[in-house]
Amino acid sequence: MLGDKTLAATGIFLVGLFSFGEGIIGGREAAAHSRPYMASIQVAEGDGMKHECGGFAVADQWVMTAVHCLPTGANGRKVVLGVHSLSQAEDTKQTFEILELHNHPQYNPDNYDNDIALIKLDRPFNASESVKSVGFLRAGGIDPGTDAEVETAGWGSLDNLGSRPDMLQEALIRVVSSTRCRRSDYFGRKFTANMICAHKLCPEPCNQPHKMEDSCDGDSGGPLLYNGVVVGITSNGGKKCGQIKKPGIYTIVSHYSEWVDGVMGLGPDA
Ligand SMILES: *[C@@H]1O[C@H](CO)[C@@H](O)[C@H](O)[C@H]1NC(C)=O
């Protein structure tokens, strides 16, 4: 158990470490509204709402996210689109109640297999430069291979102490081989065929080329993008961020086309 003084000192050290940098190591603040599909899923806290998870708009009334963000139901959570700063009153923001929550029926809370959920908003969004849906990879599409550079974004913690950014952060990350992520010193058998794992890369200029980080708490539910198309959902399996041998884990979206189409009413029978 760390004493309060140790914690305070660590906090000051981290403030010093991060205040001149670009947020998370391997990440930086995104250009405002450059990722207009980003959703902030928020939960009531006191008089206001607090960011809890990410998500992304896939159609004008649908947001994709991770089951582990809302495992027991919507419980009054809201979805905000058009956000750059969580705290500022941006006129681009559109706030929604959750009309329907569809958690994947085969979600496994022990290993986070099938960590994909769809939220139906209470009304369609008004499309704008700041609010748009994004394409996602379908069955038969080519998933990024080992060492491919992919991108992720979120309002997740900047460090293991849980300090949260106000502005959307983004990071370039690199896919790690499944063979490696299945190793017992990584995720072992908890790493299933429905998962991609990836490490953040160091930004330029970078004096720690081997320092890599994964996405952190609060990034969950957000997108993993390859060539501008969503290929994964930040899942992480509840792991702490920032451990060299624990890359981020992402649900492979292309494995769920049929389920997604069925839920959104786009199936062959619709
Ligand atoms: C879209 O715009 C209309 C007209 O301004 C407004 O009534 C409606 O509430 C807006 N919808 C959302 C989702 O904000």
CB neighbour list of residue 107: distance below 8 Å, 6 or more residues apart:
67, 68, 71, 113, 114, 115, 116, 117
* pLDDT one-digit tens code per residue, 82-96: 999 999 999 999 999
Give the DSSP letter of residue 158. Answer: S
- Check which CATH number belongs to the domain holding 189 and give it: 2.40.10.10
User: 240 in ligand 1 pocket by Cβ < 6 Å?
Assistant: no
Residues 62 and 172 in one domain: no
Tally of domains within the chain: 2
The parent domain of residue 79 ranges over: 38-133+256-264
Active site residues: 68, 115, 220
pLDDT tens track for 157-174: 766 666 789 999 999 989
Question: Are residues 157 and 98 part of one domain?
Answer: no
Stated pTM of the model: 0.85
Regarding whether 231 and 99 lie in a shared domain, the answer is: no
DSSP code string of 38-99: EEEEEEEETTEEEEEEEEEEEETTEEEE-GGGSTT--TT-EEEES-SBSSS--TT-EEEEEE
Question: In angstroms, rounded to a whole number, what is the distance separating the alpha carbons of residues 223 and 199?
Answer: 14
SS3 state at 210: coil
Q: For residues 144 and 248, state if they share a domain.
A: yes
Q: Is 126 in the pocket of ligand 1 (CB under 6 A)?
A: yes
Residue whose tokens read 């190591």: 25
Residue 260 and residue 249 share a domain: no
Q: Do 98 and 153 share a structural domain? A: no
Averaged confidence pLDDT in the chain? 83
The answer to whether position 219 is within a domain reads yes
Ligand 1 centre distance from Cα of residue 165 (Å): 28
127 lines ligand 1 (CB under 6 A): no
Residues 9-19: tens digit of each pLDDT: 444 444 333 33
Whether residues 210 and 154 share a domain: the answer is: yes
What is the rounded CA–CA span in Å between residue 29 and residue 148?
22
- Element of type H or E holding 101: strand 94-103
Instruction: Please indicate whether residue 123, judged by its CB atom, sits closer than 6 Å to ligand 1.
Output: yes
| Residue 26: closest CA among 122, 151, 187 | 151
What spacing in Å lies between the alpha carbon of 85 and ligand 1's midpoint?
Answer: 21
Q: Do 115 and 76 have their domain in common? A: yes
Q: Express each pLDDT in 253-267 by its tens digit.
A: 999 999 999 999 976
Shared domain check, 244 and 145: yes
On the question of pLDDT at 22 being above 80, the answer is no
Position 270 in a domain: no
**Does residue 16 lie in a domain region?**
no
6 falls within a domain: no
Residue 2 belongs to a domain: no
Note whether 169 and 128 are same-domain residues.
no
Residue 213 has pLDDT above 90, yes or no: no
| Residue 245 included in any domain | yes
Is residue 42 within 8 Å of 49, Cβ to Cβ? yes
pLDDT digits (tens, 9 = 90+) for 236-253: 744 455 555 568 899 999
Task: Give residue-wise pLDDT tens across range 119-157.
Answer: 999 999 999 999 999 999 999 999 999 999 999 999 987
Strand partners, 65: 117
Residue 149 and residue 26 in one domain: yes
- The phi, psi pair for 119, rounded to 5°, reads -110, 125
Phi/psi for 9 (5° steps) reads: -65, -40
Look at 34-43, 100-109, 151-160, 201-210 and tell me which has the smallest mean pLDDT: 201-210
- Asked whether residue 68 falls in the same domain as residue 163, the answer is no
